Amino acid sequence: MDPTPIIFFVIVLLLLLWGFPVAFTLGGASIVFGLIMFGLEFFNLLPLRVWGIMNNYILIAVPLFVFMGVMFEKSGLAEELLETMALLFGKLRGGLAISVLIVGTMLAAATGIVGATVVTMGVLTLPTMLKKGYDPKVATGIISASGTLGQIIPPSIVLVLLGSVLNVSVGDLFIAAVIPGFILVFMYLLWIIYVAITKPKSAPAMPKEDLKEFAGKGKAKKIIIAFVIPFLLIIVVLGSIFAGIASPTEAAGIGAIGATLLTIVRGKLNLPTLKAVMNSTTRLTSMAFMILVGASAFGLVFRGMGGDRYLTHLITTANLEPYHFIAIVMLIIFIAGFFIDFIEITFIIVPVVAPIFIELNIDLIWIGILIAINLQTSFLTPPFGFALFYLKGVAPDNVTTTHIYKGIIPYVIIQLLGLSLVVYYPDLALWLPKLLGKL
């Protein structure tokens, strides 16, 4: 068979690794190859593909979830959550680290915005953890790992994009991600407890005097407000999806309104805040959609040259077992995560392998969860792990990049273990959707 589509794929990948902008590399290379292979007729097809993206109802959820997450962060509730968790767990060894994990989990379920979560927790807790005697590697590791939980715990923008690319229900992906997401949280917790027991000086308890000063007045009221308000937002957004009352896009709209109302109630909504939220939402959404347009052009040319048929032929003639192919794809995505970000992987690699998964009769909901867990590691793996950059940007000067890199190693290993569990026990992802009658 003609190897041209593979040459095209390799050239695009090399250009990306060389450092060229993703959206323009995908779009530019695709236009050049499209003109060479198909002539001017190519321009009759491309606008239809771009229009299809802009007209995709599911993708409207992306800016709405981004808006919800940024607005929630601006409301100041994250700060209250962290303070409350410190009150509850500070007296335990590793208590501050457990607090960070719980808050990261709640923010993941309320916002799904990794950057905002890592920066918020880095600013609010890292100096305190260091001051109380935490090893910088332990502190930075749990902050980075907890901040990336928004990649797998719904409402996750990754799952929205994967649902669009794999052509499966985003709501079903959200439901399927719940158990694997909380398995990762539980494994993180076990690691913190292990560190606190085996290396007590690395994760000490807070002194009683500090806890008394931290508590102040109205401790019970603080705890109730800090827990109830985020839970209400989570229940409204995820509950409406799981109950079948609203689609993910409709639930995202409700969540955006809910986060805005929370910010108003707390007296934090003003013109500068609203402007900052809208700027962040526009910037992040525009970046994702520009990459999506470029990836759509790439997909059009790659499929037009028979690339999907070529790969399917290679896999089927190689007589690979489905699990062998899954292992190859997961390894490729894991390695790609060291160099390119999750949006690029979602729009470049996933559309190429999706037809082969269909050919091998593999459940795409399960595959979507495996890819989402794998993509989560792309935020933690150097040299381009975005969570590491976010944290380094707000960390004190005495926290080095080496501290952060060493700190995340246990959590990358934990994520790979979690991924392996879901590979070998597919029902970890599929049991809940089956229970709710979604599969």
Q: Distance between CA atoms of 331 and 336, rounded to whole angstroms? A: 8
- If you average pLDDT over residues 378-393, what whole number do you get? 77
User: Which residue, chain included where needed, has tokens 């991924």?
Assistant: 419
What's the pLDDT score for residue 332? 85
- Mean pLDDT (the chain) is 82
Residue 3 included in any domain: no
Please, are residues 79 and 124 in contact by the beta-carbon 8 Å criterion? yes
Interior CA angle at 391 toward 403 and 20, to 5°? 105
Residue scoring higher pLDDT (119 or 275): 275
Residue 233 included in any domain: yes
User: Which of 17-31, 178-192, 339-353, 388-402 has maximum average pLDDT?
Assistant: 178-192
At 110, is the pLDDT very low, low, confident or very high (cuts 50, 70, 90)?
A: confident
Q: How many domains does the chain have?
A: 1
Residue 295 included in any domain: no
Residue 29 included in any domain: no
Residue 51 included in any domain: no
Q: Distance between CA atoms of 133 and 149, rounded to whole angstroms? A: 26
At 368, is the pLDDT very low, low, confident or very high (cuts 50, 70, 90)?
A: very high
CB count in 10 Å sphere of residue 336: 22
Interior CA angle at 99 toward 77 and 379, to 5°? 85
Residue 25 included in any domain: no
Residue 92 included in any domain: yes
The predicted model scores a pTM of: 0.81
Domain interval for residue 79: 60-287+303-435
What's the pLDDT score for residue 125? 79
Residue 45 included in any domain: no
What's the pLDDT score for residue 71? 84
